[in-house]
Amino acid sequence: MAAASVAAAAAAAGRAARPGAVAPAWSSGVAAVRGVGACRGGGRRGSPHRRRAVAVGVLPPPPPAAPAVAANPNERRHYERRLVPLPPAAIQAVVADVASYAEFAPWCTASTVTAVHADDGAGHRSLSAMLGIGFRLLSETYTSEVTISPGRVRADVPRGALFEYLVNEWTFAPVPRSPGASWVSFEVRFAFRNPLYQRVTDLFFDEVVRKMVAAFEHRAATVARQRGGGGGGERRGGGGA
């Protein structure tokens, strides 16, 4: 679904970034997310902003940062790491359920699994999916080659009308001593065929991707509530894209 984020950002030419928007805490090691995070407002007793803290010492270290300079000078990258109050299996199940993307993912107009190439029944799968995106005057479809394994979903979009290439990867890791929480990492790297799209994307991409990632988290929370709060197993027949 990263391609929808990238394309939507490109189509946002002329739209100013939303004033006053407050970005969530990313990759901080003590990010506050719905009560699972660091104390804010000084942490004074009785403060309305006080939240339960997660000790930094029990959190896994962040993965190494992406190289500062890409091999392709037109390549753009985005990385974020988010602490979410859901178990890894719950959020991965949503990312791996490509057939449902059109129901909740922003700017996704169609989502279809076209072929399943491998499935060992133990959480390892590879498949092809066709996704449609629509944003203002932009309407495109693209094919995503998806590889799924426990704790990881990767999608590769080959060269087409819009992209030279696009690769995005999700990882899902448990938080020690916090069985109901997980670290979710998302990375995307891409290059447009049209240099104008490349320049416009630089203005809006971070905001658009964060909205996309938040939609997946919200979907996972909704599914968990519908199942009585359980993390649930992975739904079959999908793949993150």
Asked, for residue 113, whether it belongs to a domain, the answer is yes
The answer as to whether 96 is a domain residue is yes
pLDDT at 145: 96
Q: What is the per-residue pLDDT across 183-218, written as a single tens digit (0 to 9) for each? A: 999 999 988 887 777 777 777 777 778 888 889 999
Q: Which domain holds residue 191?
A: 1-10+78-241
Of the candidates 123, 101, 97, 96, the one whose C-alpha atom is nearest the C-alpha of residue 111 is 101
- Domain for residue 20, yes or no? no
Q: Is residue 66 part of a domain?
A: no
Flag whether 42 is in a domain: no
Q: Cite the beta strand spans of the chain per DSSP E.
A: 76-84, 108-119, 125-135, 138-149, 152-157, 163-175, 178-192
Instruction: Give the residues across from 92 on adjacent strands.
Output: none
What predicted TM-score, i.e. pTM, was given to this entire model?
A: 0.69
In total, how many domains does the chain have? 1
Residues of the chain with pLDDT > 90, as a percent, come to 37
pLDDT in tens, 94-132: 999 999 999 999 889 999 999 999 999 999 999 999 999
Phi and psi at residue 141, in whole multiples of 5°? Answer: -125, 155
Single out the residue of 79, 109, 75 nearest to residue 193, CA to CA.
Answer: 75
For residues 185 and 204, is the Cβ–Cβ distance under 8 A? no
Name the residue with higher pLDDT: 133 or 236.
133
Which residues are CB-contacts of 120 (< 8 A; sequence separation ≥ 6)? none
Instruction: Note the pLDDT of residue 113.
Output: 96
What confidence score (pLDDT) does residue 73 get? 77
